[in-house]
């Protein structure tokens, strides 16, 4: 089968870990025998940069003896060489990747959103030859990618499928964009949401139920698997010497006054530092929990002040305040980083809040093996890959009730789920994290529960759908 994938979510030379889930899925599709070509749409209003973007064509290839990321891992992450931007080891199958064509598309941030599909159509029409050569089209991201890809697929007489991720569903809330999506949906062969709640949402918003089929994401089990914490900590300690990692851990609440120990715990966040992902929620929740030095905790007014002058959602009577010896590790970049760092200083916990920026998947997997708890404080999600990866690593999770989180997490079994109410979420997250830290977890059993969630299984399900056998 010859398949053309169209997406804006795929690694770029300047963002080598962007859309890694698509890179992993596409590699798995190639592993299933699919002849895959990929168009990566790159929104850019500065037209003088387009020639540079076009020269990005297929820059990613597995480097003979292993990827730059893997090589650096073996060296203890001793350097941050830019060579990783020229190679991409997706860790799926034999590492073969599809042919990639980067296509610049005119884009006006925010104000041009309603016109975006038109610009995307114009950009894709320049590549009709790829459409003519394929048997089917798979567009990932509901709007404008899928809308534009569907228009051109219709012009070329090719069936097209739409992969829906989660956050892209919000385009259905806008009357104009919803009408555009519904119009194109009439000709779509099907929709492939990655979560059951997304499937229900699409049907509620006018997508025919018979066209909606859930295909959940997978996990790279070669990277994300159970490993001894001391083994992972030994490697990470070479990189993050400023963080006191506790390889053995402590299976109870960390309160030096009660247990006579001084074992620090690690709370992990992995994701973009953007409002919708809720890193501010986690910062405030953990700021309440961290035991402070003699300077004492910040005032209640400091806690109550939110970002950009807005009041932060706080519970004045939080019972977990000051009981824990914590390090909070944020892995990822985003527009909120500067504000988060400033808030950590204001709250008097900057020494325990660590912003590592974007990291290779190999290193993220090690952090998940070391962390006592992964926290997903998101305001919205689909099927959060980071939760699946944490569980596959044996790390218990505290998460907000977003997307299909409840399909993944069972209270007391592999973590805790809390409500998503803005007024209560900080309190609830603090308590959930405290519960995770106070319980004994069978990390091996948690990891084993994710055994069947692989990218190969996801790719097989998609191929079956595309061939009409699913």
Residue 414 maps to a domain: yes
Q: For residue 64, what is the domain's CATH number?
A: 3.40.50.2000
Per-residue pLDDT of the chain (470 residues; tens, 9 = 90+): 999 999 999 999 888 888 889 999 999 999 999 999 999 999 999 999 999 999 886 544 433 333 433 333 333 333 333 333 334 555 555 455 668 999 999 988 776 778 899 999 999 999 999 999 999 999 999 999 999 999 999 999 999 999 999 888 889 989 899 999 999 999 999 999 999 999 999 999 999 999 999 999 999 999 999 999 888 988 887 766 556 555 444 333 333 344 334 468 999 999 999 999 999 999 999 998 986 443 344 443 443 445 444 444 444 343 444 578 899 999 999 999 999 999 999 999 999 999 999 888 889 999 999 999 999 999 999 889 999 999 999 999 999 999 899 999 999 999 999 999 999 999 999 999 999 999 999 999 999 999 888 999 999 999 999 998 54
413 & 287 share domain = yes
149 & 190 share domain = yes
Task: Give the tokens for residue 192.
Answer: 């492939």
105 & 204 share domain = yes
**Half-sphere exposure of residue 260, counting CA atoms within 13 Å on the CB side?**
0
436 & 458 share domain = no
Residue 76: per-residue pLDDT: 36
Task: Give the tokens for residue 199.
Answer: 């499937």
Residue 223 maps to a domain: no
Residue 217: per-residue pLDDT: 92
8 Å CB contact between 39 and 124 = yes
320 & 203 share domain = no
443 & 458 share domain = no
Residue 40: per-residue pLDDT: 96
Residue 224 maps to a domain: no
387 & 458 share domain = no
Residue 184 maps to a domain: yes
267 & 401 share domain = yes
Residue 305: per-residue pLDDT: 47
Q: What is the pTM of this model?
A: 0.80
Residue 260 maps to a domain: yes
Task: Give the tokens for residue 67.
Answer: 């990827």
Q: How large is the C-alpha radius of gyration of the chain?
A: 23
190 & 292 share domain = no
321 & 443 share domain = yes
Residue 264 maps to a domain: yes
Number of domains in the chain: 2
Cβ neighbours of residue 468 under 8 Å, at least 6 residues apart? none
Domain range spanning residue 313? Answer: 229-448
HEC per residue, the chain: CEEEEEECCCCECCECCCCHHHHHHHHHHHHCCCEEEEEEEEECCCHHHHHHHHCCCCCCCCCCCCCHHHHHHHCCCCCCCHHHHHCCCCCCCCCCCCEEEEEEECCCCCCCHHHHHHHHHHHHHCCHHHHHHCCEEEEECHHHHHHHHHHHHHHCCCCEEEEECCHHHHHHHCHHHHHHHHHHHCCCCEEEECCHHHHHHHHHCCCCHHHECCCCCCECCCCCCCCCHHHHHHHHCCCCCCCCCCCCCCCCCCCHHHHCCCCCEEEEEECCCCHHHCHHHHHHHHHHHECCCCCCCCCHHHHHECHHHCECCCCCCCCCCCCECEEEEEEECCCCHHHHHHHHHHCCCHHHEEEEECCCHHHHHHHHHHCCEEEECCCCCCCCHHHHHHHHCCCCEEEECCCCHHHHCCECCCEEEECCCCCCHHHHHHHHHHHHHHCCCCHHHHHHCCCCCEHHHHHHHHHHHHCCCC
12 & 119 share domain = yes
126 & 212 share domain = yes
């Amino acid at each position: 089968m010859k398949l053309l994938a169209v997406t804006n979510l795929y690694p770029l030379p300047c963002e080598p870990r962007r859309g890694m889930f698509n890179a992993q899925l596409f590699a798995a599709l190639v592993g299933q025998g699919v002849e895959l070509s990929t168009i990566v749409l790159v929104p850019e209003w500065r037209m003088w940069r387009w020639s540079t973007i076009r020269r990005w064509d297929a820059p990613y290839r597995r480097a003979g003896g292993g990827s730059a990321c893997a090589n650096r891992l073996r060296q203890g992450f001793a350097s941050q060489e830019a060579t990783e931007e020229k190679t991409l080891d997706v860790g799926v199958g034999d590492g073969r990747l599809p042919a990639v064509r980067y296509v610049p598309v005119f884009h006006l941030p925010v104000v041009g959103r309603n016109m975006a599909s038109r610009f995307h159509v114009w950009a894709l029409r320049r590549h009709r030859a790829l459409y003519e050569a394929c048997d089917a089209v798979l567009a990932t991201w509901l709007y404008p990618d899928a809308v534009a890809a569907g228009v051109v697929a219709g012009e070329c007489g090719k069936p097209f499928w739409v992969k829906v991720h989660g956050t892209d569903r919000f385009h259905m809330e806008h009357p104009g964009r919803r009408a555009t999506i519904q119009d194109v949906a009439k000709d779509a062969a099907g929709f492939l949401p990655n979560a059951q709640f997304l499937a229900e949402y699409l049907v509620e918003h006018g997508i025919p139920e018979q066209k909606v089929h859930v295909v959940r994401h997978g996990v790279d089990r070669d990277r994300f698997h159970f490993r001894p914490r001391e083994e992972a900590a030994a490697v990470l300690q070479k990189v993050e010497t400023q963080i006191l990692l506790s390889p053995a851990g402590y299976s109870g609440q960390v309160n030096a006054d009660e247990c006579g120990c001084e074992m620090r715990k690690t709370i992990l966040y992995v994701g973009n530092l953007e409002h919708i992902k809720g890193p501010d929620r986690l910062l405030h929740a953990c700021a309440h929990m961290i035991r402070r030095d003699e300077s004492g905790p910040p005032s209640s007014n400091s806690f109550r002040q939110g970002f950009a002058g807005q009041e932060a959602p706080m519970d004045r009577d939080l019972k977990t305040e000051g009981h824990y010896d914590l390090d909070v590790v944020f892995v990822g970049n985003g527009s909120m980083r500067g504000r988060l760092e400033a808030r950590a200083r204001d709250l008097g916990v900057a020494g325990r809040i660590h912003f590592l920026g974007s990291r290779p998947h190999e290193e993220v997997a090690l952090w998940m093996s070391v962390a006592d708890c992964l926290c997903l404080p998101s305001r919205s999600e689909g099927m959060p890959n980071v939760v699946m990866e944490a569980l596959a690593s044996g790390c218990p999770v505290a998460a907000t009730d977003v997307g299909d989180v409840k399909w993944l997490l069972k209270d007391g079994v592999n973590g805790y789920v809390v409500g998503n109410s803005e007024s209560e979420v900080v309190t609830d997250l603090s308590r959930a994290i405290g519960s995770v830290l106070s319980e004994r977890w069978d990390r091996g059993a948690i990891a084993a529960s994710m055994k069947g969630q692989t990218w190969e299984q996801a790719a097989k399900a998609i191929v079956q759908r595309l061939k009409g056998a699913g």
